[in-house]
């Protein structure tokens, strides 16, 4: 193009001025190598009233795992057919893999239905967790207007691992789609973390976020110490929630009093291998305490991972200063039928607003009873994230297209 530089500059300025009108979403990219993966959570807002099993099927997730990740009671009869309300915010457990050098969840497939468009699939059905462009690229779709009904699409979803730690403490990362009215401060408050921590994790230069951006929120969690050959190696459970493992035989919880993973036999009626600790009459999760003159003799039978279909157990005895009290479990809630306020199920602290499709988001008052105010945590999040990376490619592309259009316009 043989244009005088000032002309290009003018176009660039015009282009930059027009930027706020176009919406480019940022998301946090974590580079990776190797084939390791980690558990992660997707923050998902239901686009319609959906059964528990339908929400789970959308993400090819286990319905029971979806429920336990949200501390929803699984003992309710026929819980998988319970209808959850549109606008409900759920944490969907997913496996965060390493694909093409970046962290993403690549286990979700979606079968297109009549009237679906890439935009409706991305923005409505998957609630902004994927962009139309990402779906188009992941499936090498050349003509997005010609989606076949019943076509199976890979839906790449954002996730991060960062070694399942935050500030060297166990953490699980929630991929959160920013909604209108959200601020980093309000998000930090509702997730009991700090603005600095969120900025570090997401490599943000300033705490500016825009609707549609996807940020990684570290949630304090309980880590497991299972051997690498266990099929549930690397299990991490977010504070205040549960996880189901070992073919639905074992249920592990985290919090509220401490961040030690606590596993017990699951209450589901399934046939399971023995959950009794060898050489003892203790079952998984049983703790006996015997006061002695030297302190309290505590024996516990704990879960050691799922190996070749066998539930591994470990019996440990230790002398502790005080005898432990009864184990406290994170509170469980009945399956929601209406939007809940003031629980971690509620969406971000944004004002009530209409969503495409008529769904409503719930406001969340900050400082809700379930979480204590964030403590002053040291400000050195995991490194290696680059929140700008995602924007660079489409931006360049659009810049070129834009200049081209302007040149044509100016010529006329
Ligand atoms: C990952 O976390 C583990 C503890 O969970 C720690 O021992 C290890 O050094 C960490 N690795 C990196 C690369 O940070
Ligand atoms: C875990 O959750 C409980 C209850 O929500 C809260 O009181 C506690 O401070 C949390 N622990 C951490 C380390 O965030
Ligand atoms: C041992 O664990 C089993 C299964 O969780 C439970 O039913 C039983 O009450 C526990 N026994 C003791 C003594 O804690
Ligand atoms: C602690 O309890 C275990 C099992 O109840 C017993 O085998 C052990 O001898 C006890 N140790 C002490 C120091 O009392
Ligand atoms: C699991 O079973 C396979 C074959 O049955 C065996 O080769 C492998 O060593 C077992 N792994 C462990 C950790 O026991």
Using 50, 70 and 90 to split pLDDT, how confident is the model at 145? Answer: confident
Place of tokens 């680059």: 386
332 CB near ligand 3 (under 6 Å): no
Instruction: Compute the distance between CA of residue 88 and CA of residue 338 in angstroms, rounded to an integer.
Output: 8
Whole-model pTM: value is 0.80
In a domain, 208, yes or no: yes
Report which of 187, 247, 240 is spatially closest to residue 217, judged by C-alpha positions: 187
In a domain, 320, yes or no: no
For residue 342, the CA-to-ligand 3 centroid distance in Å is 33
Confidence (pLDDT) at 360 = 35
- Please check whether residues 50 and 96 belong to one and the same domain: yes
Q: Say if residues 42 and 59 touch (Cβ distance below 8 Å).
A: yes
Tell me which residue has its CA closest to atom 6 in ligand 5.
Answer: 308
- Smallest-distance ligand from the CA of 231: 5
312 CB near ligand 5 (under 6 Å): no
- Which residues have a Cβ under 8 Å from the Cβ of 71 and sit 6 or more positions away? 240, 241, 242, 330, 331, 332, 333
281 CB near ligand 4 (under 6 Å): no
- Please check whether residues 55 and 187 belong to one and the same domain: yes
Tell me which residue has its CA closest to atom 11 in ligand 1.
Answer: 163
Distances (CA, A) of 50 to 88, 202, 337: 10, 31, 10
Task: Give tens-digit pLDDT for 27-60.
Answer: 899 999 989 999 999 999 999 999 999 999 999 9
Domain that holds residue 412: 1-20+396-412
Pairing of strands 89-99, 83-84: unpaired
In a domain, 305, yes or no: no
Q: Which atom of ligand 3 is nearest to the CA of 265?
A: 5
Which helix (H) or strand (E) segment holds residue 273: the answer is none
- Please check whether residues 255 and 196 belong to one and the same domain: yes
Tell me which residue has its CA closest to atom 10 in ligand 3.
Answer: 286
Report which of 56, 34, 37 is spatially closest to residue 231, judged by C-alpha positions: 37
- Please check whether residues 361 and 412 belong to one and the same domain: no
- Please check whether residues 213 and 144 belong to one and the same domain: yes
- Please check whether residues 117 and 4 belong to one and the same domain: no
Model confidence at 391: pLDDT above 80: no
In a domain, 70, yes or no: yes
Task: Give tens-digit pLDDT for 188-204.
Answer: 999 999 999 999 999 99
Task: Give tens-digit pLDDT for 154-170.
Answer: 999 999 999 999 999 99
- Which residues have a Cβ under 8 Å from the Cβ of 369 and sit 6 or more positions away? 342
Which helix (H) or strand (E) segment holds residue 298: the answer is strand 295-307
- Please check whether residues 181 and 123 belong to one and the same domain: yes
Which helix (H) or strand (E) segment holds residue 254: the answer is none
Model confidence at 375: pLDDT above 50: no
Model confidence at 74: pLDDT above 60: yes
Tell me which residue has its CA closest to atom 14 in ligand 4.
Answer: 297
- Please check whether residues 110 and 195 belong to one and the same domain: yes
- Please check whether residues 141 and 52 belong to one and the same domain: yes
- Which residues have a Cβ under 8 Å from the Cβ of 362 and sit 6 or more positions away? 87, 89, 339, 340, 341, 346, 347, 352
In a domain, 186, yes or no: yes
Using 50, 70 and 90 to split pLDDT, how confident is the model at 384? Answer: very low
φ/ψ of 337, rounded to 5, equals -115, -20
Confidence (pLDDT) at 344 = 53
Q: Which atom of ligand 2 is nearest to the CA of 371?
A: 5
Using 50, 70 and 90 to split pLDDT, how confident is the model at 268? Answer: confident
317 CB near ligand 4 (under 6 Å): yes
Helix runs in 46-159, H state only: 52-58, 63-69, 118-119, 132-138
For residue 227, the CA-to-ligand 5 centroid distance in Å is 13
Mean pLDDT (the chain) is 82
In a domain, 311, yes or no: no
Number of domains in the chain: 2
DSSP letter, residue 211? T
Instruction: Compute the distance between CA of residue 370 and CA of residue 71 in angstroms, rounded to an integer.
Output: 13
Q: Which residues pair with 311 in a beta bridge?
A: 306
234 CB near ligand 1 (under 6 Å): no
In a domain, 403, yes or no: yes
Confidence (pLDDT) at 376 = 29
Model confidence at 401: pLDDT above 50: no
Tell me which residue has its CA closest to atom 14 in ligand 2.
Answer: 220
263 CB near ligand 3 (under 6 Å): no
Task: Give tens-digit pLDDT for 90-111.
Answer: 999 999 999 999 999 999 999 9
Helix runs in 19-70, H state only: 52-58, 63-69
- 174, 372, 376: which to mutate for ligand 2, most atoms within 8 A of CB? 372
Confidence (pLDDT) at 201 = 96
Using 50, 70 and 90 to split pLDDT, how confident is the model at 269? Answer: confident
- Please check whether residues 164 and 196 belong to one and the same domain: yes
Report which of 299, 297, 323, 293 is spatially closest to residue 313, judged by C-alpha positions: 299
Instruction: Compute the distance between CA of residue 131 and CA of residue 339 in angstroms, rounded to an integer.
Output: 26
In a domain, 13, yes or no: yes
- Please check whether residues 63 and 101 belong to one and the same domain: yes
CA angle 156, 158, 164 (to 5 degrees): 130
- Please check whether residues 11 and 47 belong to one and the same domain: no
For residue 179, the CA-to-ligand 4 centroid distance in Å is 55
């Amino acid at each position: 193009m043989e244009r005088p530089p000032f002309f290009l500059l003018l176009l660039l300025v015009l282009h930059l001025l027009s930027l706020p009108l176009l919406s480019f979403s940022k998301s946090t990219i974590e580079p990776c190598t190797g084939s390791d993966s980690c558990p992660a959570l997707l923050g998902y807002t239901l686009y319609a009233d959906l059964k528990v099993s339908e929400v789970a099927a959308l993400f090819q997730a286990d319905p029971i795992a979806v429920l336990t990740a949200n501390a929803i009671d699984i003992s309710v009869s026929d819980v998988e057919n319970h209808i959850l309300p549109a606008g409900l915010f759920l944490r969907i457990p997913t496996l965060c893999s390493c694909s093409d050098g970046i962290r993403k969840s690549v286990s979700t497939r979606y079968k297109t239905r009549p009237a679906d468009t890439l935009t409706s699939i991305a923005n409505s059905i998957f609630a902004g967790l994927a962009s139309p462009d990402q779906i188009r690229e992941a499936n090498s779709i050349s003509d997005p207007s010609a989606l076949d009904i019943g076509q199976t699409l890979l839906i790449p979803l954002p996730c991060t691992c960062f070694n399942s730690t935050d500030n060297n403490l166990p953490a699980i990362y929630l991929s959160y789609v920013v909604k209108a009215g959200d601020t980093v401060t309000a998000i930090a408050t509702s997730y009991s973390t700090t603005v600095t921590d969120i900025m570090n994790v997401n490599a943000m230069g300033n705490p500016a976020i825009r609707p549609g951006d996807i940020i990684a929120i570290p949630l304090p969690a309980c880590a497991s110490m299972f051997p690498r050959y266990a099929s549930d190696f690397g299990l991490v459970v977010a504070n205040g929630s549960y996880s189901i493992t070992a073919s639905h035989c074992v249920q592990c919880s985290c919090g509220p009093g401490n961040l030690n993973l606590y596993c017990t036999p699951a209450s589901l009626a399934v046939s399971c291998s023995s959950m009794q600790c060898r050489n003892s009459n203790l079952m998984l999760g049983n703790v006996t305490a015997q006061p002695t003159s030297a302190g309290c003799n505590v024996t516990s039978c704990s879960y050691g991972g799922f190996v070749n279909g066998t539930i591994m157990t470990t019996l440990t005895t230790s002398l502790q200063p005080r005898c432990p009290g009864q184990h406290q479990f994170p509170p469980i809630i009945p399956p929601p039928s209406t939007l809940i306020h003031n629980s971690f199920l509620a969406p971000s602290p944004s004002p009530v607003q209409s969503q495409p499709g008529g769904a409503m988001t719930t406001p969340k008052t900050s400082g809700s009873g379930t979480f204590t105010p964030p403590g002053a945590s040291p400000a050195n999040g995991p490194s290696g994230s680059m929140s700008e990376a995602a924007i660079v490619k489409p931006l360049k592309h659009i810049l070129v297209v834009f200049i081209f259009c302007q040149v044509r316009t100016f010529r006329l």
